[in-house]
Amino acid sequence: MLRRLLPSAVALPYVLLVFATLCWAGNFILARAMHADIAPITLAFGRWLVALLVLLPIAWPRIREQLPQLRRVWKRLFWLAAYGIATSNTLIYIGLHHTNATNAVLFNALIPLMVMLLSWAVWRKPLAGREWLGMTGSLFGVLLIICHGQLGRLLALDFNSGDALVVAGLACWSVYTVLLRGVRESMDRFAVLAVTIALGLVMLLPFLVWELSNVGLPAASGANLASVLYLGIFPSVIALLAYMRAVNVLGPTRAAGFLHLIPAFGAVGAGVLLGEQLAFYHVAGLAIIFTGLYYAQGQVAAKVPATVLPQQR
């Protein structure tokens, strides 16, 4: 019976990465769509507050059980909260108030390269030529989609001050990805995520008070509520838990390569949700991205790593 389950266990981290990137593509689309209705820090705080409320019933007993371990790694949890919760998406949301979604998804293609360099600098992970070549090919697929099949359109893109904020937010996410490598497999993922979200909310609170005193609360509409609930449940909890699991199994460099799917799924999502036509360059770009990712991953070992097996609880 166990042998029958091994192939699916090998594929699981890759399935989790594809699902997580699909959720995060929705994060960019929705954040841009709602930028005129909800202020950026309010959106970020509301998102993570919903996420914490969703997690607490499951995470609280695990936090109490692992409290000694959590205390021993409090510095890493602090930095995970600072980069991944308080800073990354907040900067992106602020940037999306001043730049368009096309520029934002374009910059997402930089994350795998950032993570590769950070992994080399922090963990001294050697970078194989296969990884560089596969990542470059995947990046080309992203650019093909964003430029509508005409790479010359890159020169016509208009970059502004909001772009710098988006890039800064993505750089913070890259640091978060690399720091996840240091979280031990023995640490419960629900407990780690809940604690980092709680710390991130505390960090965001002073900025939320400042923003509310200047722009006030958003309108109490169904669209605003649904947007915050989606961002709080899918990108913040389900996708992040999936991503943490995949990073633990595959390492930050391999996992980050799949973030190239965010702009790809964003293009497809725009076609489905906004009525934009799915063109040939979308299909070609997706094919190039998957090919590049497959090549960068190399041959998957037949033996399942121990960390792939679910935690016994």
Q: pLDDT digits over 203-249, tens only? A: 999 999 999 999 888 888 888 999 999 999 999 889 988 888 888 88
Report d(CA 67, CA 172) in Å as an integer.
27
Read off the pLDDT of each residue in 153-168 and give the average, rounded to a whole number.
Answer: 73
Structural domains in the chain (count): 1
Report d(CA 195, CA 63) in Å as an integer.
8
Res. 148 pLDDT band, cuts 50 70 90: low
Tokens matching residue 138? 């995947």
pLDDT at position 302 is: 34
Tokens matching residue 176? 């978060």
CA trace torsion 246, 250, 251, 256 (10° rounding):
-60
Instruction: With a cut of 90, say whether residue 96 has pLDDT above it.
Output: no
Highest mean pLDDT, choosing among 156-160, 209-213, 298-302: 209-213
Is position 286 within any domain? Answer: yes
Is position 311 within any domain? Answer: no
Is position 304 within any domain? Answer: no
Q: Do residues 281 and 119 touch, judged by C-beta distance below 8 A?
A: no
Under DSSP, the state recorded for 184 is -
Neighbours of 142 (CB within 10 A): 27
- CA distances for 44 relative to 27, 49, 158, 206, angstroms: 11, 9, 26, 13
Higher pLDDT, 285 or 300: 285
Read off the pLDDT of each residue in 37-48 and give the average, rounded to a whole number.
Answer: 93
Is position 307 within any domain? Answer: no
Is position 160 within any domain? Answer: yes
- Domain containing 226 equals 13-298
Report d(CA 246, CA 252) in Å as an integer.
9
Is position 126 within any domain? Answer: yes
Under DSSP, the state recorded for 96 is T
N-to-C CA span, the chain: 20
How remote is the C-alpha of 201 from its chain's centroid?
18
| 220 three-class SS | coil
Is position 201 within any domain? Answer: yes
Radius of gyration of the chain (CA): 19
Neighbours of 82 (CB within 10 A): 19
Is position 120 within any domain? Answer: yes
Read off the pLDDT of each residue in 26-32 and give the average, rounded to a whole number.
Answer: 82
Report d(CA 140, CA 290) in Å as an integer.
11
Query: In the chain, which residue ranges form alpha helices assigned H by DSSP?
Result: 2-33, 40-65, 67-72, 74-80, 88-95, 101-108, 111-123, 129-146, 161-180, 189-215, 222-233, 239-250, 252-257, 261-274, 280-297
Where b means 16+ CB within 10 Å and e means fewer, 12-24 reads bbbebbbbbbbbb
28, exposed or middle or buried, with CB in 10 Å at 0-12, 13-18, 19+?
Answer: buried
Q: pLDDT digits over 43-54, tens only? A: 999 999 999 999
Tokens matching residue 259? 């973030």
